[in-house]
């Protein structure tokens, strides 16, 4: 048998596995770097390991070994003559500040805690419920989506629905389902003082954070309730309902979409932000983020639904299935727009 093996194919795959190993370990180093402020310290300019350790208030020996991973991993540059480490500004911009993307490293570490439960579910079914992911998930979700909403919500997501920004300026009654820590609703409340916003989520900790943020910002037009959105008040009707990354992990996503449709006024809009992907695996081959998306689905989005005998749509349910389910819920017109955030689609859904 071995004689028939394509040796080049085997070598290529060994190389792929080595890359996966490097990426997995570098994820841990990215999390340490972000947690300890090493990227912020390095962004101040080239430094020796001693200087960088002093800037960050850390132990030089650990920092030097960590820098070894950073340099060989292509994250830092190294001048062997002067023993100087440099975080190029192009890299620093993605590891610090508003465009810091290291939330994915935090997520990977969080998910490892749930490997036993998810592995067990492969054998016996069921899953790991949302409650098991809290409170860490709430913190992680807040970290990841807060930056995304700051950058894209007002400038990209809302304008993807023609006329919506203008209507919000005039005053709408709006609801955000699966609002998490409420940052999106609070941002909208701040930008559109003539509109009112209510956010619903099952996470008590998330709702408390949302209320704290609204209070700190003096936002009298934003309120938050612990509420399972499978059932929420449908009177009086809402002019706008939003769901940011909050449909595909539902236990009963079709039931939630039906409920949203029932709660909308006849000329209302449902804005659903969800992962840009195809429902057909074959179409997703070659999409750079697809392996991470399917893995996140196994480790979180699908398992939290299957934990309650749910639909288990998963992160990559895709545009075709989303359109079918929106039609089933009674949305007669659905327009899909690219909000240019590299991850999502905006579905503008009208009764």
Ligand X SMILES: C[S@@+](CC[C@H](N)C(=O)[O-])C[C@H]1O[C@@H](n2cnc3c(N)ncnc32)[C@H](O)[C@@H]1O
Binding site for ligand X (CB under 6 A): 130, 141, 145, 178-180, 184, 200-203, 206, 228-230, 244-246, 249-250
Rounded to a whole number of angstroms, the minimum distance from the CB of residue 319 to ligand X is 18
Find residue 199's DSSP bridge partners.
176, 224
Our CB check for ligand X shows the closer of 245 and 319 to be 245
CA dihedral for 38, 39, 42, 43, sign (positive or negative): negative
Rounded to a whole number of angstroms, the minimum distance from the CB of residue 306 to ligand X is 13
In angstroms, the CA 41 to CA 54 distance is 9
Exposed / middle / buried, residue 137 (Cβ in 10 Å: 0-12, 13-18, 19+): buried
Residue with tokens 């612990």: 226
Rounded to a whole number of angstroms, the minimum distance from the CB of residue 51 to ligand X is 38
In angstroms, the CA 256 to CA 235 distance is 16
Residue 176 neighbours by CB under 8 Å, 6+ apart: 182, 184, 185, 188, 197, 198, 199, 200, 241, 242, 243, 244
Secondary element (H or E) of residue 139 = helix 136-152
Our CB check for ligand X shows the closer of 40 and 245 to be 245
Our CB check for ligand X shows the closer of 41 and 229 to be 229
According to DSSP, residue 75 is labeled: S
Q: Detail the DSSP E strand segments found in 170-295.
A: 173-177, 196-201, 222-226, 238-244, 264-275
Both tokens assigned to 70: 């950073």
According to DSSP, residue 155 is labeled: I
* 270 in Cβ contact with 331 (< 8 Å): yes
Rounded to a whole number of angstroms, the minimum distance from the CB of residue 169 to ligand X is 22
Rounded to a whole number of angstroms, the minimum distance from the CB of residue 312 to ligand X is 13
Closest CA to 264 of 237, 236, 295: 237
Strand order in the sheet with 333-337: 222-226, 196-201, 173-177, 238-244, 264-275, 344-350, 333-337
Our CB check for ligand X shows the closer of 195 and 297 to be 297
Our CB check for ligand X shows the closer of 66 and 224 to be 224
Rounded to a whole number of angstroms, the minimum distance from the CB of residue 130 to ligand X is 6
Rounded to a whole number of angstroms, the minimum distance from the CB of residue 167 to ligand X is 21
Residue 120 neighbours by CB under 8 Å, 6+ apart: none
Our CB check for ligand X shows the closer of 145 and 186 to be 145
In angstroms, the CA 205 to CA 118 distance is 24
Our CB check for ligand X shows the closer of 63 and 304 to be 304
* 179 in Cβ contact with 201 (< 8 Å): yes
Overall residue count recorded for the chain in this entry: 351
Rounded to a whole number of angstroms, the minimum distance from the CB of residue 149 to ligand X is 6
Rounded to a whole number of angstroms, the minimum distance from the CB of residue 228 to ligand X is 4
Our CB check for ligand X shows the closer of 184 and 214 to be 184
Our CB check for ligand X shows the closer of 229 and 277 to be 229
């Amino acid at each position: 048998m071995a004689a028939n093996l394509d040796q080049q194919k085997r070598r290529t795959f060994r190389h792929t596995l080595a890359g996966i190993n490097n990426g997995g370990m570098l994820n841990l180093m990215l999390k340490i770097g972000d947690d300890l402020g090493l990227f912020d310290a390095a962004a101040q300019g080239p430094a020796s390991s001693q200087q960088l350790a002093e800037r960050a208030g850390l132990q030089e020996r650990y920092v030097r070994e960590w820098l070894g991973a950073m340099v060989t991993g292509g994250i830092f540059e190294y001048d062997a003559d002067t023993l100087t480490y440099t975080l190029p500004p192009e890299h620093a911009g993605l590891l610090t500040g508003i465009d810091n993307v290291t939330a994915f490293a935090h997520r990977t570490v969080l998910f490892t805690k749930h490997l036993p439960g998810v592995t067990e579910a492969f054998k016996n079914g069921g899953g790991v419920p949302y409650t098991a992911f809290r409170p860490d998930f709430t913190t992680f979700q807040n970290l990841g989506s807060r930056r995304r909403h700051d950058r894209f919500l007002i400038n990209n997501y809302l304008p993807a629905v023609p006329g919506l920004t203008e209507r919000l300026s005039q005053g709408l009654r709006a609801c955000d389902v699966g609002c998490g820590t409420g940052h999106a609703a609070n941002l909208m409340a701040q930008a559109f003082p003539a509109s009112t916003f209510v956010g619903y989520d099952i996470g008590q900790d998330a709702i408390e954070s949302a209320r704290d943020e609204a209070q700190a910002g003096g936002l009298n037009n934003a309120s938050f309730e612990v509420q399972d959105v499978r059932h929420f008040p449908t009177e009086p009707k809402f002019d706008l309902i939003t769901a940011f990354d909050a449909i595909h992990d539902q236990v009963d996503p079709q039931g939630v979409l039906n409920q949203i449709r029932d709660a909308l006024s006849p000329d209302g809009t449902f804005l659903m932000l969800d992962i840009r992907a195809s429902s057909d695996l074959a179409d997703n081959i070659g999409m750079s983020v697809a392996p991470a998306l399917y893995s996140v689905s196994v480790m979180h989005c699908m398992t939290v639904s299957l934990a309650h005998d749910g639909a288990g749509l998963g992160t990559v349910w895709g545009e075709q299935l989303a359109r079918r389910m929106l039609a089933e819920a009674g949305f007669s017109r659905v327009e899909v727009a690219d909000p240019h955030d590299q991850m999502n689609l905006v579905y503008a859904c009208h009764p």
